[in-house]
Amino acid sequence: MNSNRLVSIVIPAYNESKVIEILLLSIRNQSYTYIETIVVDDNSRDDTVTISKKYTPKVYKREHAERSIQRNFGARKAKGKYLLFLDADMELTKDVVKGCVHLAQKNSKIGGVVIPEESIARTYWEKVKAHERSFYNESGDKTTDAARFFRKSVFEKVGGYDETITGPEDWDLPETVKKSGYEIGRIKSKIYHYERVKGPFKLAQKKYYYALKSHRYFQKQNIPLISPKTIYFLRPVFYRNWRKLVAHPLLSIGMFLMFTFELAGGALGFVIGKYLSSKSN
């Protein structure tokens, strides 16, 4: 396979047997065929590995590794000119890879590409999360956009994902790429994201965990603690689209309640993480 055209798709996974086959099928059905798929499994206890091996021989185990470590490991195994990092609960529309490659080939200054996401939701809280994401994804949002597709040469130049950061690494890498003199592009083809939200308490717990190391990201990228990046309620995209808030009152009320829980969890995680970091230094 021609490595100058090859796209290496890297998928971190842990107990993803209920969703990963949907993603792997969508990769197989891409209109762009120069693809290798790499699954980095964190010692799953279900059928994730068995299912993955039906679609790719490149299934590796990295026990008890954070997402950034898994992604960097997958990138080291990759033989492609381009890297695409996906989550196991996603599904690609058929022209996603083709669109990313075309944009990168068209403009040599493109170091990374943002792919818009459309949420698939069933429960109330999943629909609330989908409602939130819809504000960002319709035309893009500079506060929340995060590239998933990168030139491998650029990825290696900037050192890949920062393994000291868990959570904000999706923002950190594209921002580092931009600071290195490259542009971040955006395509129109979508990723479907299967939301799995059990409720605001679980979201707060997740934000708490991610926030434990978030101070490293804020310091590295010189981001104020009080900013649209950190405080959902300060994001202009919601107020520019106030008609959508009014049109879906039950979802909007749930969204702002969800924000309150997530901010509380994130703030607690940040404070504790900062304290633990100062004690270890």
| CATH number, domain with residue 31 | 3.90.550.10
Domain assignment present for residue 158? The answer is yes
Number of compact structural domains in the chain: 1
Give which of 260, 162, 261 is closest to 206, Cα–Cα: 261
What are the tens digits of pLDDT across the range 268-277?
Answer: 999 999 998 8
Domain assignment present for residue 170? The answer is yes
Q: Which residues of the chain have a pLDDT value below 50?
A: none
Q: Are 121 and 102 in contact (CB under 8 A)?
A: no
- Please return the burial class of 159, using the count of CB atoms within 10 Å of its CB with bins 0-12, 13-18 and 19+: exposed
CB atoms within 10 A of CB 63: 7
What's at 195, amino acid-wise?
Answer: E
The model's pTM: 0.94
The values of phi and psi at residue 10, to 5°, are -110, 125
Domain assignment present for residue 264? The answer is no
β pairing state of 110-114 and 183-186 = parallel
3-class SS shares of the chain: helix, strand, coil, % to 5: 50, 15, 35
Domain assignment present for residue 261? The answer is no
DSSP string, 87-155: -TTEEE-TTHHHHHHHHHHH-TTEEEEE--EEEE--SHHHHHHHHHHHHHHTT--TTT----EEEHHHH
Domain membership of residue 124 as a residue range: 7-197
Domain assignment present for residue 65? The answer is yes
Domain assignment present for residue 268? The answer is no
List Cα–Cα distances, 175 to 65, 143, 203, 235, 263, in angstroms: 23, 11, 25, 18, 23
CB atoms within 10 A of CB 79: 12
Mean pLDDT over the full length of the chain: 94
Domain assignment present for residue 173? The answer is yes
Give Cα 4 distance to the centre of its chain: 25
Quote the pLDDT of residue 277.
Answer: 87
Domain assignment present for residue 66? The answer is yes
CB atoms within 10 A of CB 266: 24
